[in-house]
Structure 1
Amino acid sequence: MKQHQFDLIVLGSGPAGSTVATKMVEAGKSVAMIESREFGGTCALRGCNPKKVYANAGEIIDLARRSEGKLITGSGEIKIDWRQLLEFKKQFTEPVVNNKEKSLQDSGIETFHGAAKFTGQNQISVGNTVLSANRILVATGATPTKIDISGSEHITTSDDFLEIAELPEHVVFIGGGYISMEFAHVVARCGTKVTVIERESRALSGFDADLAKQLVDYSERIGIQFRFNAALAGIDADGDGTYRLTFNGAPSIDDVGLIVHGAGRMPNIGDLGLQTANVAHDRNGIAVDKTLKSPTNDHVYAAGDCAASGVPRLTPCANEEARIVVKNLLKPGSESHADYGAIPKVAFTTPAIAAVGLSEKEATRSSDVDVRADDTSSWGSVRKTGDTVAGYKILIDKKTDQILGAHLLGPGAEETINLFAMAMKFNLTATDLKSMLFAFPTFASDVRSMV
């Protein structure tokens, strides 16, 4: 068995792992990276970037259709070519697969393919090779949660959904979170029947309830069907290539051509042998202190979706954690902590829904809050797009004038939310925002009217 010694071993080649590995090798450290799949990580290959390509396709079709009779004619002839969309998506993912590992190697990082497993406190095996290092970073990301029902083998992951060449007549998405909702909006605009099943009483639980309800109502108008409080019991394959979904206490859903997993993700750490290395972990991920180091093994750090750092599993959070890990590795004892600030999040439906900061329930629990909310579908910025669904809810502390939370729905929400995140991070007040001069007419200029 071959043995190698490094200053740092990195498990995973996504944003967190790649950033730390690159910065460390630039600092003159010897670095190994182990990847069990293609080099590049979820965001670049199976997540953020490719899904945005699909979301853009849905947005273009929607814009054409709502412009019919106002700006253009003949929009009924426009449709999404699913195969062309797949090929276009590959223009963004295939170069990553082809180039990522080479760029890492060219920078001086030694790469290994295979499943990594701890064999000691600071030792990792991959295939017939054993690697040792004084520091190990676990950045293995997340994987779809397990759906423990009969027939679960018929469920397609979101990874595989991004590779299908043809849509069937009926697609069911399990879960009402952002993954299901984003893809449902694209598929529905292809003319395919879409059903979203959710075990809770509402969709998009991470977003404002009132705005999410507006979005669900609109989603139904474009043909998406919802089944809430749905306890999925099993999936049966019919002989004609379709499936039957059965529920506890509810009618079945028949003649389904594709079932897509959108019911959340969990830390991808189950097969790493963490117990062997005395690395504390639970269902939320690898336990870390504020420096992102394991409290039970000084050799080990964790960052990104596999770390139980208490923040959303988003690429910007992984990037911030990578920055902090590098600081702490290069300057032992510096005790650098992550500064997440206000973390914005977006579901790239059409229209988009976005949020940053506290929910209305959270804010009103601890502060005297001015809740400023309105339906903005009649505002000029929205009407110019032909959109009919838009709104906001801004939560302002009455005593300090600080923005506690911002919630947006409608065109431009995915961009405008960043202004509120910046204001919250740098302690700008509602009065500060109201006094700003914005380029006009823009969606951002609406901020003054919201606060």
Structure 2
Amino acid sequence: MSQYDFDLFVIGGGSGGVRCARIAAGHGARVGVAEERFWGGTCVNVGCVPKKIMVHAAEYGQWAREAPAFGWTGMRAGEHDWPALVAARDAEVRRLSGIYDRLLGNAGAQAFNARATFIDPHTLDVGGRRVTAGRIVIAVGGRPIRPEIPGCELGLVSDDLFELKELPRQITVVGSGYIALEFACLLRGLGSEVDLVYRQALPLRGMDGELREAMAEALTSQGIRLHPGETLARLERVGDGVALTTGSGRTLPSGQVIFATGRVPHTEGLGLERAGITPGRSGCVPVTVQQATEQPHIFAVGDVTDQLNLTPVATAVGHALADTLFGNKPRVASFLNVPTAVFTSPPAAMVGLTEEVAAQEGPVEIYSARFTPMRHTISKQPRKTFMKLVVSARTRRVLGAHMLGEDAAEIMQGIAVAIVAGATKEDFDSTIGIHPTAAEEFVTLRTMTRRVG
């Protein structure tokens, strides 16, 4: 690699790119990384981190409203201070973004605060500087998009939530995936009137059907107005607000509309054609199992590949790639049994197969429960917890776990270890529960709900 400026150059300073660069540098490679916008990428700056901080803020309001049921007569929700939340959120984002930059320096990688584009398969333009590399990793992530309807420019996209100067009094959220539901819940929890418009009959397309039903009920119970089965026709300015007209002819007046209808790989203008790479659907970079493109020395990780767009997945893939290329430890990150969570109110989490998918592969037993957790039996809030195990009738292995309820994400992380390890239903049954908790339900589901497939 001595004929090149770098052994490895990473385009993009998000979670996957930075992890790949750090590990490669630790293995002794000469590494360069370019980031044109902000270190830490979407997750740290306009995704997981600032969103979770706002979710916490919304939860405090709920706790204050429930406090009198537990004897806290002096506590009240009051009026939310949006500027105070924004200041705290943005300070934490700056801190974490700075850590990413320092991690690269400590590892010995050279960071460039610049845009990098391809000149040819081994050469990049990095902020006007010509740089060559033996291997290149594309890790530019994704960007939000607006639907192609008249007036779409009047709506916000997910990144814009973190630029709002004040809490919207009333807002319409379009979409029913992770981002849409999380934004709808946190804004409702902070005091906004929220309408949720989506095409499907139930939110969270692709997830377990029972979980989707429980989620729709949970959204409604907190006062979010659901409009399922609606397509979009146009968006118009009306006075100080906007009006969204749906395909069925309904018009929803709103203070603002935020589109959370999808993201696409951020490859526009990257010069893939000059590198000899043909983009896939929506501009993604097609890769092999080893994350290689059609150019064997150019790789891609993270959301730009449109494989499984989750921050921990990008990080794991970036680490495995660096070990393979420079650490003499060839391996690939697994995309099987990846746990994930939706930070709604209450949150949902899942790992493994849904009932619908598992039933197509063979007979399965379903164990499920819905109940009011202790906290809400006292506070009288209409919040239910839903828990479910999908079990192979032949092997007895637990194929999937699904939950909607308080601490779902924290609980599912531990359940994921068991499922990845191949635990059976009998392993769950022989585990002593921690009482009193909601989590113990996962090891006390003795009665089969039904058998399918």
Length-normalised TM-score, structure 2: 0.91
> In percent, how many aligned pairs have the same letter?
28
Instruction: Output the CA distance in 2 between the equivalents of 1:63 and 1:342.
Output: 33
1:243 aligns with 2:215: no
1:57 aligns with 2:57: yes
SS of alignment partner, residue 199 of structure 1: coil
Contact 1:233–1:247 (CA under 8 A) maintained in structure 2? yes
Change (3 A) 1:385 1:291: farther
Q: CA deviation at 1:436?
A: 1.6
Give 2:95's aligned amino acid.
Answer: P
1:200-251, CA deviations, whole angstroms, 9 ceiling, x for partnerless residues?
Answer: 222122432222222222322322111122221221123x331121222221
Give 1:7's aligned amino acid.
Answer: D
Aligned to 1:270: 268
* 1:252-401 correspondence runs (5 A): 252-254=251-253, 256-283=254-281, 285-294=284-293, 296-308=294-306, 310=307, 312-331=308-327, 335-377=330-372, 380=374, 383=377, 388-401=383-396
* 1:29-428 correspondence runs (5 A): 29-73=29-73, 76-238=76-238, 240-254=239-253, 256-283=254-281, 285-294=284-293, 296-308=294-306, 310=307, 312-331=308-327, 335-377=330-372, 380=374, 383=377, 388-428=383-423
Change (3 A) 1:306 1:450: farther
SS of alignment partner, residue 166 of structure 2: coil
Query: Which has the higher mean CA deviation after the structures are superposed, 81-90 or 5-14?
Result: 81-90
Aligned to 1:449: 444
Contact 2:208–2:356 (CA under 8 A) maintained in structure 1? no
Contact 2:391–2:399 (CA under 8 A) maintained in structure 1? yes
Change (3 A) 1:218 1:26: closer
SS of alignment partner, residue 273 of structure 2: coil
SS of alignment partner, residue 8 of structure 1: strand
Q: CA deviation at 1:23?
A: 1.6
Point out where structure 2 has 5 or more consecutive residues left out of the alignment.
447-453
Aligned to 2:449: none
Instruction: Output the CA distance in 2 between the equivalents of 1:84 and 1:241.
Output: 25
Contact 1:382–1:411 (CA under 8 A) maintained in structure 2? no
Give 2:252's aligned amino acid.
Answer: I
Give 1:250's aligned amino acid.
Answer: G
Change (3 A) 1:40 1:424: same
SS of alignment partner, residue 5 of structure 2: strand
Give 1:273's aligned amino acid.
Answer: G
Instruction: Output the CA distance in 2 between the equivalents of 1:81 and 1:351.
Output: 22
SS of alignment partner, residue 69 of structure 1: helix
Give 2:290's aligned amino acid.
Answer: T
Give 2:198's aligned amino acid.
Answer: E
CA RMSD of aligned residues (A): 2.2
Change (3 A) 1:385 1:206: farther
Contact 1:344–1:356 (CA under 8 A) maintained in structure 2? yes
1:26-72, CA deviations, whole angstroms, 9 ceiling, x for partnerless residues?
Answer: 22221111112012211111111111111111222223323433443
Give 1:195's aligned amino acid.
Answer: D
SS of alignment partner, residue 249 of structure 1: coil
Contact 2:14–2:141 (CA under 8 A) maintained in structure 1? yes
Q: CA deviation at 1:7?
A: 0.9
SS of alignment partner, residue 45 of structure 1: helix
Q: CA deviation at 1:380?
A: 4.5
Query: Which has the higher mean CA deviation after the structures are superposed, 438-447 or 37-46?
Result: 438-447
Q: CA deviation at 1:385?
A: 7.3
Query: Which has the higher mean CA deviation after the structures are superposed, 405-414 or 339-348?
Result: 339-348
Give 1:306's aligned amino acid.
Answer: V
Q: CA deviation at 1:352?
A: 0.8
Instruction: Output the CA distance in 2 between the equivalents of 1:402 and 1:381.
Output: 32
Point out where structure 1 has 5 or more consecutive residues left out of the alignment.
none
Instruction: Output the CA distance in 2 between the equivalents of 1:290 and 1:232.
Output: 37
Give 1:130's aligned amino acid.
Answer: R
Aligned to 2:451: none
Instruction: Output the CA distance in 2 between the equivalents of 1:434 and 1:71.
Output: 37
Q: CA deviation at 1:195?
A: 0.8
